[in-house]
Amino acid sequence: MSSEQNGDQQAPSPSVSGLKAAVEEQYRRIKENAETYPYVWASYIVVYGGFGLWLTYRWSKLRRTEDRVRALQEKLRKIVEAKQSAKAPASSTTEKAAWLSQGTQAADKASPLSDKATK
């Protein structure tokens, strides 16, 4: 059993070394290609680097716009709350008076109709 355990422990080493060798081989091929075709690689860097810079610029502009919108929404929310709190004491009295007057008007309108129906 101890030989099996030793074999199990050594099994990952070849796969790790195989992976390491594959990565090194790929790096060597890319390096040779870059040395062979420097203008192509430079154009890739310019194009994709410019694209990355543009995306970074747009992202930061979007974040600034979102921050401004949040600040304006907060200001607006505070203004609305201030107006509502200023109207709250007066509006409760006004609402009660309006409700009572609507009830009275409804009763007045109902009375002539009921009188006409009985006559």
Q: Is the pLDDT of residue 1 over 50?
A: no
pLDDT of residue 71: 96
Distance CA 96, CA 88 (A): 12
Q: Is the pLDDT of residue 119 over 50?
A: no
pLDDT of residue 31: 93
Enter the pTM of the model.
0.45
**Three-state secondary structure of the chain:** CHHHHHHHHHCHHHHHHHHHHHHHHHHHHHHHHHHHCHHHHHHHHHHHHHHHHHHHHHHHHHHHHHHHHHHHHHHHHHHHHHHHHHHHHHHHHHHHHHHHHHHHHHHHHHHHHHHHHHC
What's the rounded mean pLDDT across residues 78-85?
A: 93
